[in-house]
Structure 1
Amino acid sequence: MPDGPVNVDDVEWTDYDHGQRAFRRKQLAPAAGGEELGASLYDVAPGKRLWLRHYHEGNEEAIFVQEGSGTLRLGPDADEHRLGPGDYVALPAGEESTHEIEAGDDGLRLLMVSTMQEPDITVYPDKDMVGLYAGAAPGGDSDERSISTYLDLHAEMAYWDEA
């Protein structure tokens, strides 16, 4: 049971810097005692991007833009949509919700919310890669995961081959 409200100013930023993908994140849900719903505040510098373009097979996400502007590349064809303050985007599980976010000239601050179901498979179509998670959902406590790995999307083995 949470102790009460958590103020965003009391949660520390975590910095991510992977070249073009650089942003700050405050994980609000765990700080407030959230278990099945994740929420993170993101601050993205002008021209920088968030996570790799992806979609989830087991979790739904949503975006709420608070400040700034940016571009959302949405769906299998990466159709471009302008983002601005007050915009809300629902991203149900599945390929139609493939997404990537890039901040505009004035940067971008947004709240992302997601279900925290596990296991989950996250698909990264531009890299032909999948992420497999069990024990804790993506965005959850990685120390609690029994599986947390990234694999080639086309890596296959025959089920019935004898060892």
Structure 2
Amino acid sequence: MKPPIVNLDALNPQPLPPQCAPTGLAAERYAPRIARIGAQFGARKLGYSLIVLEPGKRAFPFHHHRVNGEMFFVIQGAGEVRIGSEQHAIRAGDIIACPPGGSATAHQIVNTGTQALRYLAISTMLSPKVVEYPDTGRQAVLVADEPDVKGGLRAVFRASDSLEYWDGE
């Protein structure tokens, strides 16, 4: 059996697959390259990935999780993290904690530096995943029996578009 050890130098972060990649104007702002480390070792309860952002790019929209917590460890580069209503400078060696919760725990990392920003993203993998995006009023729910399994239930919506409980019954 191969030991569950990998060196960061051996990882090859890749752009998001076409079905998940941002399009239109979003493609100009969001361009993460990701190496999903946990999946290589069969991790089921904890997700860990290496994320690489080029200058001026973001990995994901400003968001918060209702169920899962995240932690980021900056390996190389500099940037900013927006947490709630505040912006904070970040640099190599920083650890960023983003517990589950409401809009005060919303977060987004941006590479404001001049070189690639590399960081580890570590998160719990509890289902359902419930994510809210305060800037756009969107919500997302993902229910899957296994992490990163295709299928299950995935919905992105605005609460204002939600049906009443008894509609159509």
Q: Shared fold by TM > 0.5?
A: yes
Q: Percent identity?
A: 29
Counterparts in 2 of 1:136 and 1:129: CA distance versus 1, 3 Å = farther
Separation of aligned partners in 1, 2:160 and 2:130: 14
The RMSD of aligned alpha carbons is 1.9
Q: Which residue of 1 aligns with 2:166?
A: 160
Which residue in the other structure is 1:101 paired with?
A: 109
Candidates 149, 153, 163, aligned match of 2:155: 149
Shift of 1:48: 0.9
- Name stretches of at least 5 consecutive residues in structure 1 with no aligned partner: none
CA–CA distance in structure 2, aligned partners of residues 44 and 161 of structure 1: 44
Aligned to 1:13: 13
Deviations 1:61-96 (A, max 9, x none): 001000100000111x2x110000110011110122
User: Match for residue 46 of structure 1?
Assistant: 55
Q: 1:142 to 1:127 in 2, by over 3 A?
A: farther
Taking the TM superposition and a 5 Å limit, the aligned residue runs for 1:23-102 are: 23-75=32-84, 77=85, 79-95=86-102, 96-102=104-110
TM, length-normalised to structure 2: 0.84
The alpha-carbon distance between structure 1 residues 93 and 106, as it changes in their structure 2 partners (threshold 3 A), is same
The match for 2:120 is 111
In structure 1, distance between residues paired with 2:50 and 2:124: 15
Greater share of strand: 1
Give the whole-Å Cα distance in 1 for the aligned partners of 2:138 and 2:89: 27
Q: Contact between 2:76 and 2:92, CA under 8 Å: does it hold in 1?
A: yes
After superposition, the Cα gap between the structure-2 partners of 1:159 and 1:87, relative to the gap in structure 1 and judged at 3 Å, is same
CA contact (8 A) 2:13 2:52 kept: no
Aligned twin of 2:3? 4
**Displacement of 1:9:** 4.3
> Structure 2 regions of 5+ residues with no counterpart?
22-26
How many pairs does the alignment contain?
A: 157
How far apart, in 1, do the equivalents of 2:12 and 2:75 lie?
Answer: 18
Quote the offset at 1:161 in angstroms. Answer: 4.2
